[in-house]
Amino acid sequence: MRKLALALPLLAAALAVGLTSAWGRTAADPGVTSTSILLGGTTPLSGLASGYASVARGAEAYFKYVNAKGGVNGRTITFTYLDDAYNPAQTVQATRQLVEQDKIFADYDSLGTDTNLAIRDYLNQRGVPQLFVATGARTFGADYKRYPGTIGFQPTYAAEGYIYGRYLRATRPKAKIAVLYQNDDYGKELLGGLRIGLGPVGKAIVATQGYEPTATDVSSQVSSLKGSGATTLMIFATPAATIQTYVSVNKLGWKPQIFVNAVSSASQLMKISAASSSNAAVEGSLSIVFLKDPTSPKWKNDPAMKLYRSILAKYGSGGDPNDVFNVYAMASAWTMVDALKRAGKNLTRAARQPVRPPRDHDQDDAHEPLPDPAGADGALARGRVAGVRAAAQREELIRGPSGLPRASTNATIHSVTAATAEATAKTGSS
């Protein structure tokens, strides 16, 4: 089995904590008392994207851990998250409830591209911070001037697609490429980044097929892509559609080299995909990785992963420690806590102060960091990719905008199943 390393200098902006600079300060913002902070968000607890539920639940576990240690500046954190079933209309309703009835201080960790787009105007107009959205869409960093209350967290989809394109251009310049993508900004940005990365060999893309986020079957799209004669398949899809794609590929007897986007390459999803189709269809798939894989023996004795597991065991209400979305969630929650801490005791929605770049061993009694939960060398580790100010130019996808600090991580293009020993063992791969 193969593992192919590719350095990924990710864009990152300094976390100008909190909470934004555009709004006026009030004596008492909603959701904040002398002893508590109320955060709220939406996540798909049901429906086709319910596999992402741990993105909220893992964050909640980390907040409980922090609360048990005294909270942040004397305040405990309550995180209320509502089910939107990955449906923007439901996201709007749930967010209005959180803002107008529950009186949250900030919207935090809401998941999905279209879902966050549906509430961005509303939240910014109401002066409610929209923090660390769980999507890699570029707009949540690139459009910060128009939406000063909104900040991203994870690497952008455009950058991810660009990495695949550069890798294919360097290693498979004669590949015939087919692309299955979700027909929204998420999928289109991955496809756009791929085209930019391919550059002069962009004609290698011989077929593309989109599917709607609400689609329950992508077999016809996969069949059309196979008919193109492609030798490489890019899966830019959420978990349910990704699993269906592997099933369809196997039924069709198609044997392309498969690339699967990071949001669907988690080890538990690969295990389900292998069990639902065949291990041969899954084995050797390639993806990027920017989080430590909790199933990899490489991280068995890693201090961050030991702390992660202990937190999840005590506060995670039965959460699966092998679910990488729990790792993501704690990296995000660490960043939220760090933002609140740096905003100071006089917490308002307008609180803001510059932040120095993180040192590798920052520690204090009130907020023990999760060391390196999201990267091998610590730069991305504590979620410092927060607030990505992605630029449109291809070069800036790699260099970062002028004047902004840049976080670097050992993100790699790697063989998915080579990094998921559990999936390999349970599906009988050699």
Domain count along the chain: 2
| Same domain as 28, residue 142 | yes
Q: What pTM was estimated for this model as a whole?
A: 0.77
Place of tokens 């999201």: 374
Report residue 419 as tokens: 């990094």
Answer whether residue 407 is part of any domain. no
**331, containing H or E segment:** helix 324-343
Token output for 7: 């350095």
Residue 1 within any structural domain of the chain: no
By CB atoms closer than 10 A (0-12, 13-18, 19+), residue 125 is exposed
Tokens in use for 202? 């962009």
- Does the residue 222 lie in any domain? yes
Which SS3 state, helix, strand or coil, does residue 151 take?
A: coil
Answer yes or no: is 402 within a domain. Answer: no
pLDDT score for 295: 87
Same domain, 316 and 361: yes
CA triplet 12, 16, 17: central angle to 5 degrees? Answer: 120
Q: Are residues 244 and 328 in the same domain?
A: no
Residue 404 belongs to some domain of the structure: no
Residue found by looking up tokens 């109401």 in the block:
126
Are 210 and 327 within one domain?
no
How high is the pLDDT of residue 167? Answer: 96
C-alpha to C-alpha distances, 348 to 52, 74, 364, nearest whole angstrom: 30, 15, 23
Burial code (b: 16+ CB inside 10 Å, e: under 16) for 352-376 equals beebeebeeeeeeeebebbbbbbbb
Q: Please tell me whether residues 165 and 71 are part of one structural domain.
A: no
Q: What confidence score (pLDDT) does residue 372 get?
A: 33
* Confidence (pLDDT) at 415: 54
Same domain for 162 and 278, yes or no, is yes
Within-domain flag for 23? yes
Q: How far is CA 60 from the centre of its chain?
A: 16
The pLDDT value recorded for residue 76 is 98
273 alpha carbon, distance to own chain's centre: 20
Q: Rounded to whole angstroms, how far apart are CA atoms 373 and 274?
A: 27
Are 350 and 213 part of one and the same domain? no
78 and 138 share a domain? yes
Rg of the chain, C-alpha, whole Å:
21
Contact present, 285 and 415 (Cβ < 8 Å): yes
* C-alpha count within 13 angstroms, C-beta hemisphere, residue 333: 34
Q: What is the mean pLDDT for each group of 10 consecutive residues in the chain (430 residues)?
A: 32 36 59 97 94 96 97 97 97 98 98 97 97 95 93 94 96 96 95 96 96 94 97 95 92 94 79 65 84 90 95 94 94 95 91 42 38 31 26 26 27 45 26
Domain shared by 67 and 46, yes or no: yes
Q: Which residues contact 310 (CB under 8 A, 6 or more apart)?
A: none
In a domain, 47, yes or no: yes
Here the tokens at position 398 are 């790699």
Tokens of 52: 């992402």
Residue 271 sits in the same domain as residue 327:
no
53 is in which domain, residue-wise? 12-155+299-390
The DSSP code for 127 is T
Q: Could you tell me the two tokens for 139?
A: 């707009």
Same domain, yes or no: 26 and 124: yes
408 within a domain of the structure (yes/no): no
Q: Rounded distance, CA 52 to CA 75, Å?
A: 28
Residues 184 and 218 in one domain: yes
CA–CA gap between residue 59 and residue 71 (Å, rounded) = 14
Residues near 28 by Cβ (< 8 Å), separated by ≥ 6?
A: none
Q: What CATH number is given to the structural domain containing 241?
A: 3.40.50.2300
Helix (H, G, I), strand (E, B) or coil at 138: coil
> In what order do the strands lie in the sheet containing 106-108?
76-83, 36-43, 106-108, 130-131
